[in-house]
Structure 1
């Protein structure tokens, strides 16, 4: 398999922290600035931007919206991790040059590699180090790798500075596939057991992100209240019977978004900033208006309008999985990331000393979620491949028709996972209690 470096999964444990404090810890501690300035000469100083998390969320929600629009044409529900896709693209961006680099900077709101690298590391520091690891009620783990064929002459500065860069022998494709899939499976606790199919021996690199989340509800549902109920479909005959969980008068943050024409509820997880936000169309059955208008600004405005209210909540107990390949590639292309996917114009030459022509010809994203009375388990992985809450009566929030849901870290404003449920037929029964 050649030389293989195991990326450490240990991360600092942190409470709430302002973005500027992260900057001091990282820069003054010499964690990032030295590597950035040395490897990305001519890119300007490595500065921490307070706008960076907002731009990540902007890109992520735009991507989720576009993916949902594409997938729902086939009447399918979708579940993705915008953050996973974004993270894999960041790693590719660090090796980009020319027009490929310019297109990625425009689409992903990056001013330079130095700023992107600095803020990417700060974001990982906050997300992984936050209260997530201080309690067994929540677990958030993620990893990134860029596996390069051992025959490539990698840029030594990048290889020495980015532990995500690995050497692997793709001429033994089954062994390479098994090693990469095992790394992903380990991070996702077996929820994504096989990201990659068999790779050709001509594979030159595979850039991968994997993310895993397990959280227990701050206000769990009682299993004795779970029952069967009809989930309304968009078309005649498309309704189905699903398992639903019930909170008869729970205290939740709730609000109405005029921009999205949707009622919104926050379902927080224990001991963390992460919550699930469920958006239920207010005056219609389809989620189309939500998807048409969902972005970082409308979501932020909706959150600010929410207040604690007594809620009678009915919510599905479900599992949902999605695999994206060509659909995701089309969405990235339409977002302006075009040359990266073009065999003649793709430019990832900064990864190698001899500026070997490299581009992405295959994209794959797998994501899965299980929602039960105890909480939520979710995982996703992305691959970029070159083979070439007494008072008034409780408000009813009955989620037995199409809905959109986001699993978001409120501290950074980053959406980690997102789903658009079109049909109860897409919701699989969940056996056992995976959150426990």
Structure 2
């Protein structure tokens, strides 16, 4: 349900498909208060060699704090899966358009205020985050110059299972996809600040689309935009009519498709036990997948937990499973409150390849999460104002009273070819313009200056609902002969046995940038496949 009491509707959503597409062509050769639950550890800039490290640490810290709050106070005992990058992509666009207390609140949730970043470093943060998002989508050659985890440089004397040989034809079919798109939908007649429009378009490649929110087709257009950009995985992100007092809708959609470097053995998937409350308590029945091979692994005596990585083929992305010893929902809850972004990255840095036999539940989750209360618990206050607090928030830099509006006619996707009249950019400079920005960095510098010297009155913009919708699938993605199953799973060569049959954390991480695509607290795997 979308509240009609607020003037901005911010929607964060993502659609994903994990190892879902069939790969038949594979062949083988051989309860406390929220304020006390989040991690308040400041970003350690002494160990952050680059702005990229700052962005990655901020993103993982943001992800972990959301997971703690969701598990502790809102979804305790259940499974929670979300996309930190999808949520963050929307919130940084608000950060760019805010000032005053709202600006400080938004900086706080990304830990950019301990100690405070200068305007120059904040601008560098935006530029780097935008560049990282683009690089991961393009699978750019520049990723090779970014971080390389230590485990990628290790090896084992032999592997108990060889990696599949992939034909050239199937390699094309198995291409991995990361797609992140941002959209700003503007109500007809609303005066968007032209400089703000330009800067979010340049840095975050945001579609800026005018719509008549009074028409029912406006909701259909936004839902269709999300549906197309998540390749059909997310439908109906806006279920009801758009409230009449909504001026802008910010959206971020993420689609990910990955194929395991070592697929699970389809014939080894069985109905098995999962123990939400520990091995000595009653189990539930799930479908458990199995595989074997050389995987990055580390046991942490400091935190009494183990971590294993499952790389995706032809990509810089891996899924990490973190499971405490003698795990249960309560034990995992305690581990969540102990860990931090810095500690998770430290464990990943200590991983090395080891021969492992690994079992993981087959999972499919579809969730709608209202992030408004979570972000308020993280410290986002006035921007989420309600009722008598309407006058507190300051998103004044999003709108501009003197901007001349253009044509806002829209052909909706449900009526035919999806075409829109986009807002024109204000750069590069036209003939006669002097000192106009000619690149993204100059544009951002000019925008920061205007924001700091502006004496505009408080804006009439506030955040209403922040809705996050997830579709998450994990399956085998691969076929192998049944005759090989017993050999792989019973051979004594594996020196690690990792059974994810008790609660665990799940992190899908783009390793080159270290950005968290997905973060999950898996207390009970959804038994959708049974």
Give TM-score scaled by structure 1 length.
Answer: 0.78
1:138 aligns with 2:179: no
Pick aligned residue for 2:499 from 388, 398, 403: 398
Distance 1:309 1:71 in 2: 37
CA RMSD of aligned residues (A): 2.5
CA shift digits 1:145-202 (9 cap, x unpaired): 1112121111122224433232211111x21111111111111111111111222232
Aligned residues: 365
Pick aligned residue for 1:416 from 497, 517, 528: 517
Relative distance call for 1:240 and 1:131 in structure 2 (3 A) is farther
Where do 1:213-292 residues align within 5 Å?
213-234=256-277, 239-247=283-291, 249-286=292-329, 287-292=332-337
Offset at residue 316 of structure 1 (A): 0.9
Relative distance call for 1:224 and 1:411 in structure 2 (3 A) is same
Question: What is residue 126 of structure 1 aligned with on the other side?
Answer: 135
CA shift digits 1:301-327 (9 cap, x unpaired): 1112211111111111110122111xx
Choose between structure 1 and 2: higher strand proportion: 1
Distance 2:502 2:519 in 1: 17
Question: What is residue 57 of structure 1 aligned with on the other side?
Answer: 60
Question: What is residue 366 of structure 1 aligned with on the other side?
Answer: 469
Give TM-score scaled by structure 2 length.
Answer: 0.65
Query: For 2:62, what is the secondary structure of its paired residue?
Result: helix
Distance 2:261 2:348 in 1: 18
Query: For 1:83, what is the secondary structure of its paired residue?
Result: helix
Where do 1:23-422 residues align within 5 Å?
50-73=53-76, 75-110=77-112, 111=117, 112=119, 114-130=123-139, 136-163=174-201, 164=206, 165-172=208-215, 174-198=216-240, 199-234=242-277, 239-247=283-291, 249-286=292-329, 287-325=332-370, 328-342=371-385, 343-354=390-401, 356-374=459-477, 393-422=494-523
Question: Which structure would you say has the larger RCO, counting Cα contacts within 8 Å and 6 or more residues apart?
Answer: 2
Question: What is residue 437 of structure 2 aligned with on the other side?
Answer: none
CA shift digits 1:327-366 (9 cap, x unpaired): x212211211111101331221101113641010211111
Distance 1:88 1:97 in 2: 16
Offset at residue 137 of structure 1 (A): 2.7
8 Å Cα contact 1:171-1:202 kept in structure 2: no
8 Å Cα contact 1:261-1:289 kept in structure 2: no
Relative distance call for 1:130 and 1:391 in structure 2 (3 A) is farther
Offset at residue 289 of structure 1 (A): 2.7
- Larger-Rg structure: 2
1:428 aligns with 2:505: no
8 Å Cα contact 1:260-1:298 kept in structure 2: no
Offset at residue 120 of structure 1 (A): 2.6
Distance 1:294 1:254 in 2: 18
Offset at residue 49 of structure 1 (A): 5.8
Query: For 1:428, what is the secondary structure of its paired residue?
Result: coil
Q: Which runs of 5+ in 1 are unaligned?
A: 1-46, 376-388, 431-436
Distance 1:324 1:258 in 2: 34
Distance 1:294 1:368 in 2: 26
Offset at residue 61 of structure 1 (A): 2.1
Query: For 2:373, what is the secondary structure of its paired residue?
Result: helix
Per mean C-alpha deviation after superposition, the further-off stretch among 344-353 and 237-246 is 237-246
Relative distance call for 1:70 and 1:201 in structure 2 (3 A) is same
Offset at residue 237 of structure 1 (A): 7.6
Q: Which runs of 5+ in 2 are unaligned?
A: 1-49, 144-170, 402-455, 479-488
Offset at residue 50 of structure 1 (A): 4.7
